[in-house]
């Protein structure tokens, strides 16, 4: 009889104890769950100036890596120059500011250019100049142009003109090699070097003139 009394007295106490432990665990779990939840604010959208700078960085990287040819770069920079011109005109018409509609329009245009940059950087066309002195000269010019884009010393319009000049030289070298079994004659090398000398001066002048790629906020 005393055994039964002890059993039925201990059982409710055990149940009560287990319930208290479970409740404590549940509270702790809920607390840590609440503490573990972090709400991150959405990242702010880049400004028009930031987008412009980002595009130039992407182009410069493509030029330096050889993923963008001179022709592709020229077309991309021509588009960027057009967007920049439109932005300047809009600001001039609105006291230095852009309206919400103008910002939306510019962002749509930059989205299209961004897709074009990606496609051009991932297509089959690459700028491969080889190990010759002529090839090394071509690569050096592209490196100087890429550096000018990144530093802001070259505007989009200036870059487009420089890349058009390089495109013309590259096409001439390609045609000369095709006509001579893949090689260049001494006269052709001399001609290419003379043209690259002119291009080199052009790069220097454009990088050291008053025009700089300094976007407004």
4 within domain boundaries: no
- The pLDDT value recorded for residue 125 is 92
- The pLDDT value recorded for residue 22 is 46
Q: How far is CA 101 from CA 48, 82, 90, 107, in A?
A: 13, 18, 11, 10
Tally of domains in the chain: 1
93 within domain boundaries: yes
CA distance 208 to 198: 16
How does DSSP classify residue 44?
Answer: P
132 within domain boundaries: yes
114 within domain boundaries: yes
* pLDDT block averages, 10 residues each, the chain of length 217: 49 49 46 56 82 95 96 97 96 95 96 97 91 94 97 97 97 96 96 97 96 62
35 within domain boundaries: no
Give DSSP secondary structure letters for 172-211. Answer: HHHHHHHHTTT---HHHHHHHHHHHHHHHHHHHHHHTSS-
Structure tokens at 171: 């096409």
Output the pTM of the full model.
Answer: 0.76
161 within domain boundaries: yes
144 within domain boundaries: yes
16 within domain boundaries: no
Range of the domain at 166: 48-207
- The pLDDT value recorded for residue 39 is 67
């Amino acid at each position: 009889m005393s055994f039964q009394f002890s059993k039925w007295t201990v059982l409710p106490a055990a149940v009560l104890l287990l319930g208290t432990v479970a409740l404590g665990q549940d509270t702790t779990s809920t607390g840590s769950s609440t503490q573990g939840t972090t709400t991150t604010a959405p990242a702010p959208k880049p400004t028009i100036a930031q987008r412009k700078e980002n595009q130039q960085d992407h182009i410069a990287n493509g030029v330096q890596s050889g993923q963008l040819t001179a022709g592709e770069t020229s077309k991309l920079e021509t588009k960027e120059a057009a967007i920049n011109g439109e932005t300047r005109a809009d600001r001039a018409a609105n006291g230095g500011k852009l309206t919400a509609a103008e910002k939306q329009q510019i962002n749509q245009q930059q989205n299209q250019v961004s897709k074009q940059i990606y496609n051009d950087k991932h297509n089959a066309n690459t700028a491969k100049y080889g190990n010759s002195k002529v090839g090394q000269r071509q690569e050096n010019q592209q490196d100087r142009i890429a550096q000018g884009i990144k530093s802001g010393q070259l505007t989009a319009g200036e870059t487009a003109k420089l890349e058009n000049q390089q495109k013309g030289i590259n096409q001439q070298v390609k045609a000369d090699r095709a006509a001579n079994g893949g090689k260049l004659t001494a006269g052709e090398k001399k001609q290419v070097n003379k043209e690259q000398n002119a291009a080199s001066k052009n790069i220097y002048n454009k990088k050291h003139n008053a025009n700089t790629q300094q976007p407004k906020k």
